[in-house]
A and B are shown apart, each in its own frame.
Chain A
Amino acid sequence: MFEVRIHGRGGQGVVTATEMLSVAAFEEGRHAQAFPSFGSERTGAPVVAFCRIDDKEIRLREPIMQPDALIIQDPTLLHQINVFAGLKPEGYVLLNTHHSFESIGLGDFAKTLRPERLCTLPATELGLKHVGRPIPNVPLLAGFAALSGIIRLESVIKAINEKFSGKVAEGNVNAATEAYALVKKEMEERAHA
């Protein structure tokens, strides 16, 4: 079983992101379970949502306390809560920022993890560019697909088209495609560096 935890703020589409992740996994014939942290959070408050992916039926109903992957939609959360709590040593981290881990003071922490499983992505900018709104969730999902290989970009695009339609869907597909390419490129450059 692969467990993903997404952190963000109310209004950033955190819950939607986990739902779409589960749909993407479902599209690949896998079992998936997405669920929010069940709060009554208002816009701007820290929000957590979860997604489990497995090849067999998922029965477990506990919150994800030791995630295999973290997607952090808002870097300002780093100063507010311990978003890394329980992260497995071999876990993936995808952080929404146009900075590097080092430049935002996470250099030492990053060294405790596997470097090829860490990445940053300017997802808010991609959202603005393609959809006209600063919603980072879809680019991050595509970035996560590129970083982890747990799901395919086509599945993310299928999930986008199931959730949205018309121009919004189109914009999100473009954002996802660019995000995927950015992360792939970054990972390849790093591998060859």
Chain B
Amino acid sequence: MGFQTVKFYQTGTFTVGNRLLAPDERSVQAGEMRSNSISSGHRACQGCGEALGARYAIDAAMAESNGQLIAANATGCLEVFSTPYPESSWQVPWIHSLFGNAPAVATGIAAALKVKGKHDVRVVAQGGDGGTTDIGFGCLSGMFERNDDVLYICYDNEAYMNTGVQRSSATPPAARTATTMPVGNEPGNVFGQGKNLPEIAMAHGIPYVATATVADLRDLEYKVRKAMKIRGARYIQIFVPCPLGWGTASDATILMARLAKETGTFPVFEAEYGEVTGVLKIRNKLPVEEYLKPQKRFAHLFGKHAHPEMIARLQAIADRNIRKYGLLQDQES
């Protein structure tokens, strides 16, 4: 991937010291001209990964579209915390309709813009993992199949956080949620077959699919900007840790996202027309315990009644991701 022109190993923390750079090399977030599409003062929890991811993504999309952007939003945390009546954090034209229809609403907006000849105005739809992988799945697939000119962004925090942390089809195996409690022989969520939405999106053959995390700002911005350069249906899934739902410290959001990537638990890649075209390599491969242990939703895997066999299964899933996407530095991707 050619997006990262500057490496910041010298800081030792992987943090992105934008202020050390010349203005034209800075990220959108660090730039003076960022649009602040979601203004501060909203009602998100402390350390909310979704608020961060949405701000990064929409500001990048605004930068790429020269401020000509309309956003549709599925019901969920992002919608609720950003628009408690009569306030709205949105500095872009924004519509919330329902939980399961954001892709279709975006299709409608795109159609209206097309018919009115407003070709410079672009459309983003966004939702959480529940709104994307479960209830909005049909509308999303329809939007992909028609190749409507919409960038759909899924903020993936791996459960229904807005309703109180219930399982979604993006919830990882073994995780505790309000509907997958840590009881019984195999505590937490079941080891199912999973529902890999980026790959399902790729199977539609759409022009662009990518995954990103809030830990890699430049990668995320690069992917959003790249997606905005393309016409047709595009999908980006952004990994956004949820301190409340995961039981992690509110200052550990970026760390958790980085650990998900560095353990291979969340593969970060991009694909064009159904083919993987690039992966974000693991810099320093870590065992999954490093990622699982700080999270209360996996606490039942450790301690007195530990479940090392379940940790081993989660490690196997991460290893498979590493093999499949070639996530190690010396691997071919």
Whether the complex brings A and B within 8 Å at their CB atoms is answered no
